[in-house]
Chain A
């Protein structure tokens, strides 16, 4: 059912495909870290969907299990993630307001900026 899908799914899908392109390969060279992103539909910590954005290998997978540990883990609400990924909300602001929670290496977290995500085009 459509409502059970997160809006973030769309962005993640696009990101997944993006990683396969040249621009995506650039990203892996530039960043080379593994991020785990937990997206919760309503409230952080509940019913989270886990995505692993592997910017070392250039893959994006849904679901927690992967080899090794992520360099940084982020937790968002669905809407807030969209805002950050499209640049509507600055990650520092998000962090300050508690819309984004971070665990793990701070330097890795600082590299997580909106520009690593491709933007959706409007019909």
Chain B
């Protein structure tokens, strides 16, 4: 993933110990300002910790490898402390708040994002919205970069007018565009645009055509190029410094369009820029390994192009004609290269020349030559450039024809439709909380998903003399959660008590927890492999979990172990099952003894599996005629109807089940589902709440409740839902 590579420096980078990442912005800044003498002075002001800071910080970036799509699956335990320390050093060094803001943007966000990704740690830092405008800005930019780095949609909080000057706005706009494009190199165009516009909008910055940003529309190939080229670059310290400096200067000198160029010239002299640049380049070139075509010069060219373009935007003739601009333009077009502390016209085989002169990068040059002969790069580059409509100044022109309008329209639409409204940002934050909760609960769930039973803590029945009997009593009375505790005590005492496990499994199923039900039933099966009820229950639970193959196996097992019907099945269990075969066998069994309700029940379950709902309904009806007071049958009938989208009919079946067993959690939840599936979200809510009151651990029901709440636009109660505040929900939604 491009973004990951951008930040972490790519998987192939083998620079141990040092930070193996790059920051395109940093590199750009570095290229622009680099290690000028003036900067050196500034740097000396900073405490010594700084140079190592970025490295630590960028090592924090490693965890981002584990971001979307990572196959490496590294555990990440970033040192949060180092990130904050780094931040602190910057804070102390610079009085300029806005520069700090950019420092924060550069360096800060990773550590909150990283902490986001860690299990069980505190959630993402919200943007700091108090304090002076600069702080707010930094907070906002924080969030922007956070979300960018996290690859998630950016929902800006509302900010009051920050009193940004035009110059500020322009700079912010430009920079954020660049950043966004880099972060989202592999996301869609629209995504990038909407992110940036979200940021800009909250800052009240115009994002219309006036902003001829340096990085426009079609940029894909160059993005990839950029990413590759950055991929191997070692992170150079002073990254954020460069930004801060530049920004500071800009901020101090509003309204003077030439200032920027002049300031450079003042600071470094017209050629001084070149010398910095080459210093920057030599740093880049001393990276240990670089992949073939990805030449620092490409990076340099990219940077200079951006630079040139930005400068070219200013139509002041003095500016245009400045030598500096011309110089930069030439650089960008590859007509000049920095070679050995001098600016020279680009030779054809610069690679070999390079190799001669820079022995520090031998492996790179070797590899390069090996891979590509010196001219091939130029050809490739030219080819690629043509692809982006020619390698010379036209590139710049092309980019001026932005697709800005598309952005703006879409953004306008989005705002109108409230896509970025408060609701969604709340949702997002809530979603994040859920994620954290999920992480914590995940451990439990992953255990039981593998069929490992998870016992409850603090079981009051553990010392009980006869927990099984107690459990059975409680079950009969309909106190399912209590029954579970008692039965757990039983099976803790007697792990081979299949009856205990069986009842435990059934109770869990009725409590709408198929995971635990399966785990318990598997234990029961171990203890007693031929217990028909167990096998049936396993079949049902697996059907609910959409595990077709397993369900078939258990249902077949039911037949196999049945004293009456085992003749129908073959002596050994076949390795795989065809649904049609199994169904056929059961039909035969039904013909053998039509009064056997169980056979019909199994048939009903089977037909549910194959989604032959009409047949399933028929089977269940038959079974119900034989056993009209079996509440679970009514539930099955209802569920079958609901799944075949006859939700209205389903409800009456569920009602019958509930009449027979009022504490039947599953039926309550199913009722809710049936209403929700018909779009009657308001009505579904009380049913979910009732189910949850009886079993607060029914995770499914929590999820569905959430969906219903937001579909019914009851955002006020979403908070209660997320915090699992049953009291509030019960008060609000009585049945």
- A42 in contact (CB, < 8 A): no
What chain B residues lie within 8 Å of A10 (beta carbons)? 546, 611
What chain A residues lie within 8 Å of B428 (beta carbons)? 92
CA distance A47 to B650 in the complex (A): 36
B152 touches A120 (CB 8 A): no
**Distance (whole angstroms) from the CB of A66 to the closest CB of chain B:** 21
What chain B residues lie within 8 Å of A5 (beta carbons)? 548
Per-residue B-contact encoding for A1-24, CB less than 8 Å = 1, 0 else: 111010100100110011011110
What chain B residues lie within 8 Å of A64 (beta carbons)? none
**Distance (whole angstroms) from the CB of B26 to the closest CB of chain A:** 24
On chain B, the number of residues with a Cβ less than 8 Å from chain A's Cβ atoms is 72
Per-residue B-contact encoding for A58-101, CB less than 8 Å = 1, 0 else: 00000000000000000000000010001111101101111000
- B70 in contact (CB, < 8 A): yes
Quick one: which of B153, B650, B707 contacts A92, CB cutoff 8 A? Answer: B153
Interface locus among B166-174, B224-232, B478-486, B667-675: B667-675
CA distance A96 to B434 in the complex (A): 13
Quick one: which of A93, A115, A121, A123 contacts B674, CB cutoff 8 A? Answer: A121
CA distance A20 to B119 in the complex (A): 42
Quick one: which of A2, A114, A120 contacts B643, CB cutoff 8 A? Answer: A120
**Distance (whole angstroms) from the CB of B621 to the closest CB of chain A:** 15
Q: A17-B644, A98-B68 are in contact. Are A121 and B650 (CB under 8 A)?
A: yes
- A102 in contact (CB, < 8 A): yes
- B552 in contact (CB, < 8 A): yes
- B660 in contact (CB, < 8 A): no
A123 touches B188 (CB 8 A): no
Q: A86-B700, A122-B670, A123-B636 are in contact. Are A93 and B540 (CB under 8 A)?
A: no
A122 touches B608 (CB 8 A): no
- B30 in contact (CB, < 8 A): no
Q: A14-B645, A95-B151, A96-B152 are in contact. Are A87 and B678 (CB under 8 A)?
A: no
B546 touches A107 (CB 8 A): no
**Distance (whole angstroms) from the CB of B558 to the closest CB of chain A:** 15
What chain B residues lie within 8 Å of A89 (beta carbons)? 438
A115 touches B711 (CB 8 A): yes
CA distance A102 to B190 in the complex (A): 12
- B640 in contact (CB, < 8 A): yes
**CB neighbors of A among B621-679 (8 A):** 635-636, 638-640, 642-645, 650, 666, 669-670, 673-674, 676-679
Q: A88-B703, A121-B670 are in contact. Are A2 and B639 (CB under 8 A)?
A: no
Quick one: which of B69, B417, B679 contacts A23, CB cutoff 8 A? Answer: B679
Interface locus among B84-92, B207-215, B316-324, B571-579: B571-579
B191 touches A106 (CB 8 A): yes
**Distance (whole angstroms) from the CB of A103 to the closest CB of chain B:** 6
**Distance (whole angstroms) from the CB of A27 to the closest CB of chain B:** 8
Per-residue B-contact encoding for A27-56, CB less than 8 Å = 1, 0 else: 000000000000000000000000000000
CA distance A98 to B150 in the complex (A): 11
**Distance (whole angstroms) from the CB of A31 to the closest CB of chain B:** 12
Quick one: which of A98, A104, A107 contacts B419, CB cutoff 8 A? Answer: A107
What chain B residues lie within 8 Å of A114 (beta carbons)? 703, 707
Per-residue A-contact encoding for B116-133, CB less than 8 Å = 1, 0 else: 000000000000000000
- B358 in contact (CB, < 8 A): no
- B414 in contact (CB, < 8 A): yes
- B706 in contact (CB, < 8 A): yes
Q: A95-B151, A121-B638, A122-B670 are in contact. Are A87 and B704 (CB under 8 A)?
A: yes
Closest to B551 in A: A2
Closest to B671 in A: A121
Closest to B187 in A: A102
A98 touches B703 (CB 8 A): no
What chain A residues lie within 8 Å of B543 (beta carbons)? 123
Closest to B711 in A: A115
**CB neighbors of A among B458-475 (8 A):** none
Closest A-B pairs by Cβ, 5 of them: A98-B68, A23-B679, A2-B548, A87-B703, A121-B639
| 28 pairs of residues in contact across A and B, judged by CB atoms under 8 Å | A2-B549, A2-B577, A21-B645, A90-B435, A92-B428, A92-B431, A95-B68, A96-B151, A96-B152, A97-B68, A98-B70, A102-B188, A105-B190, A106-B190, A106-B191, A106-B194, A106-B410, A107-B190, A114-B703, A115-B707, A115-B711, A118-B645, A119-B676, A119-B677, A120-B673, A122-B666, A123-B544, A123-B605
